[in-house]
Structure 1
Amino acid sequence: MTSKTTLEQIAKAAGVSLSTVDRVINRRGGVSPKAEAKVLEWASRLNLDRRIFRSHLKSLRIAILMQSPHNPFYRALRDAFSDLNVSQAELRMTAFLHYIDVNDPAGTGRKIDEAASSYDGLIIICQNDPRLSDALRLHSASLPIVTLVTDIPDCGRLAYVGADNRQMGRVVGELMGRFVGNDGGELLIVLGMQGMLGHEEREMGFRTVLRERFPRCRIVASLESGENPDRAGEVVAAALTEHPEVRGIYNVSSGNVAIARTMQAMGLAQRVTMITHELTASRRQLLRDGILDAVIDQNPRLEAARALEVLARHFRRGNHGSIGPHHTPFDIFIRENCPSVDPSA
């Protein structure tokens, strides 16, 4: 197929002249935004050679606001976005990472304002704080927004991309009830931040399944680490001292190594069932050692790709067909199926 024939196909499908298509392709100007959008849409719909039109697209800047990559999950997300900048270069969408402190919503609000003035799109992972929801809603008319991993429903976002956190919590509830057994017992929940909607939804799913199927399992404390791994160990140590009969711990977020050290120091590592999220190198070892009993693992690479696909669709780039559900799948790992290497690598 020749380039000329290809341009004629685009013109016919879009209902515009060949010269209009040529002006769009070669960025000569003089085309209305509506006509330009139609040309680009039909070029993509017809699945024509990417080199014919994508190399002439405006380069879009996408801001990624998330926690520091000191957390292994966010490190995996950082690497995923970096890889996608290379593997999806033809989309002309470049992700720029900016790190936020989840304990500083005012600082996060300023970064949202900066993104609105300097970027074409925003992917964000932050707490469901009314101030941040208001800031996002304020800019959502001009700035397409995708919430990732944890949702902020009332912020004007295009979509939430990530695992179904309530379902993951329900799965943990089912596993905990079965592992603890018919006699039940006292349980602890350790949240990263109550304000992270994903953490709240996990707790809700967990509590619901226990109430429905395992009424002898009793949650005696719901703790909060503030996303500080060391603090997670400290609050668990205090809770285990106050409740020495605890038989299960559900850690919703980070701090598993610190919690494991606490359990070992108190001689509880083999007596207390512990379930958490995200299969990192340290958690694989804790699984093999029998300190962790199960890990619910999501796929940060898939989540990063889906988030960018939502924005690509918004900007009429890439494949306009189905990109699959915005809820991404998750896996359950126990000692017997624990991989020897990072499954997302």
Structure 2
Amino acid sequence: MSVDLLKKTTMKEVAELAGVSVATVDRVLSGRAKVSPHTKERVFAAIQQLNLQQQLSIDSSNVEVNEPLRFLFLSESGVNFLRSIENTVMEIREQFSSQNITIHTKSLYPFNVEHFIELLEVSSKQYDAIVLLCREDPAISACVNKIVKAGCPIVCFTTDLCDTSRLSYVGPNHVSAGRTAGSLMGRYIGPCSGEVVLVVSAPYRSQYERELGFRRVIREQFPNLTILESFNNHDLDEESYDSLIKLFNSGVKPLGIYNVTGGTQGVAQALKEKGWSNDVVFIGHELNDGSYDLLSQNEVDIIIDQDLKSEVLTAINVLMHHFERLQKEPVQTTSAPIITLRENMGAKIG
């Protein structure tokens, strides 16, 4: 990547957003000096985010804005992630007001399929488009297809509904995230033979894809490791804790744990109660206040995160292009996993 890719974005803006110095940005772009992969990733992500914001502004000034557009982020997930989505949308929504676009959020917790379908159907009549985060369910997929056919476009966000006529998927590459977790797990454990626990869930495709990627890497590259499952159907801390304590008390002491679901604090609590926090490699997902504290206290080794702000902007970008408010079609709607360790976690969120 060269300095030309900054377009109108200045190095100072990139440095501020990435949390590095201007000199570091220059080194990354020029390639003249060695910079850590994590720092490069932060710099490139900052450039992409700033250029996307500028493109939205530039392209929207070249088209006539007529009727107002109302986009809805409709989500069902764990409480922490729902809060993260709402906070992110609130942070960026004002930049679209001059383009006569308003961004809204709704969520449902705890999940009930009938209530969610009702909310989805009602929302499709109130908003021009929906950015949807939800679990896989045949009834939900049928509802999505009906809504899209009626003229309300839907973008799947963070987790996909592949069997629907949704407009696009925007979010992480979860197979890549799972493969990353598998590679890190195997390398952290080393040549020791033993068992690793995969804390799994049922409903979300994102979690299925993480599991798939993890299993493939362990099978292909680390034959010294055997995978056991622990089930957490509702992404709850108490479910993670209960299922793991039961497994531990049966005589299992794993070499590592990969949690593809919510409930990271429950996993950490179970390990701490057994006195194994420093003995078992623990990899989880989603950097939030709770997982930040676990990282700082050495109760989790790695958190695999996503660039939620860029993904929210990309989802809006997809819809703006659909409604001909943005001339250029988004070229990339999936994002790479972000690896967070205690050593690079930065300042606390919020």
Residue number in structure 1 paired with 2:182: 173
TM-superposed deviation, 1:115: 1.7
Residue number in structure 2 paired with 1:340: 347
1:249-328 correspondence to structure 2 within 5 Å: 249-318=257-326, 320-328=327-335
TM-superposed deviation, 1:126: 0.5
Could you give the per-residue CA deviations for residues 41-79 of structure 1, whole angstroms, max 9, x where no partner exists? xxx99x68839833xx211122221136731x3222111
Among 130, 147, 163, the alignment partner of 2:156 is 147
TM-superposed deviation, 1:147: 0.2
Among 228, 234, 252, the alignment partner of 2:236 is 228
Could you give the per-residue CA deviations for residues 142-172 of structure 1, whole angstroms, max 9, x where no partner exists? 1100000000011111100001001100000
1:1-345 correspondence to structure 2 within 5 Å: 50=61, 53-54=64-65, 57-67=66-76, 70-71=79-80, 73-101=81-109, 103-141=111-149, 142-191=151-200, 193-318=201-326, 320-342=327-349
1:85–1:276: structure 2 CA closer, same or farther, 3 Å change rule? same
Q: Distance in 2 between matches of 1:258 and 1:49?
A: 46
Which amino acid counterpart does residue 64 of structure 2 have in structure 1? F
Q: Is the 8 A contact 2:176 2:337 kept in 1?
A: no
Q: Please, which runs of 5 or more residues in structure 2 have no aligned partner?
A: 1-54
Q: Is the 8 A contact 2:155 2:315 kept in 1?
A: yes
TM-superposed deviation, 1:289: 2.2
Q: Distance in 2 between matches of 1:49 and 1:114?
A: 29
Which amino acid counterpart does residue 114 of structure 2 have in structure 1? A
Which amino acid counterpart does residue 331 of structure 1 have in structure 2? I
Q: TM-score with structure 1 length normalisation?
A: 0.80
Structure 1 SS opposite 2:104: strand
Q: Distance in 1 between matches of 2:301 and 2:88?
A: 28
Could you give the per-residue CA deviations for residues 115-138 of structure 1, whole angstroms, max 9, x where no partner exists? 222221111100111111111011
Which amino acid counterpart does residue 184 of structure 1 have in structure 2? S
- Structure 1 runs (4+) deviating above 4 angstroms are none
RMSD value over aligned CA atoms?
2.3
Residue number in structure 1 paired with 2:33: none
TM-superposed deviation, 1:242: 2.2
1:204–1:102: structure 2 CA closer, same or farther, 3 Å change rule? farther
TM-superposed deviation, 1:250: 0.7
Which amino acid counterpart does residue 334 of structure 1 have in structure 2? L
**Structure exhibiting the larger radius of gyration computed from Cα positions:** 1
Structure 1 SS opposite 2:216: helix
Alignment size in residue pairs: 295
Structure 2 SS opposite 1:162: strand
Q: Distance in 1 between matches of 2:225 and 2:118?
A: 43
Q: Distance in 2 between matches of 1:194 and 1:284?
A: 26
Structure 2 SS opposite 1:246: coil
Q: Is the 8 A contact 2:69 2:100 kept in 1?
A: yes
Could you give the per-residue CA deviations for residues 288-341 of structure 1, whole angstroms, max 9, x where no partner exists? 3222111111011111111111100000113x1253400023311122222123
Q: Is the 8 A contact 1:126 1:150 kept in 2?
A: yes
Greater mean alpha carbon deviation, residues 145-154 or residues 102-111: 102-111
Q: Distance in 2 between matches of 1:246 and 1:52?
A: 58
Q: Is the 8 A contact 1:122 1:145 kept in 2?
A: yes
Structure 2 SS opposite 1:140: helix
TM-superposed deviation, 1:286: 1.6
1:132–1:326: structure 2 CA closer, same or farther, 3 Å change rule? same
Q: Distance in 2 between matches of 1:279 and 1:110?
A: 31
Q: TM-score with structure 2 length normalisation?
A: 0.79
Residue number in structure 2 paired with 1:36: none
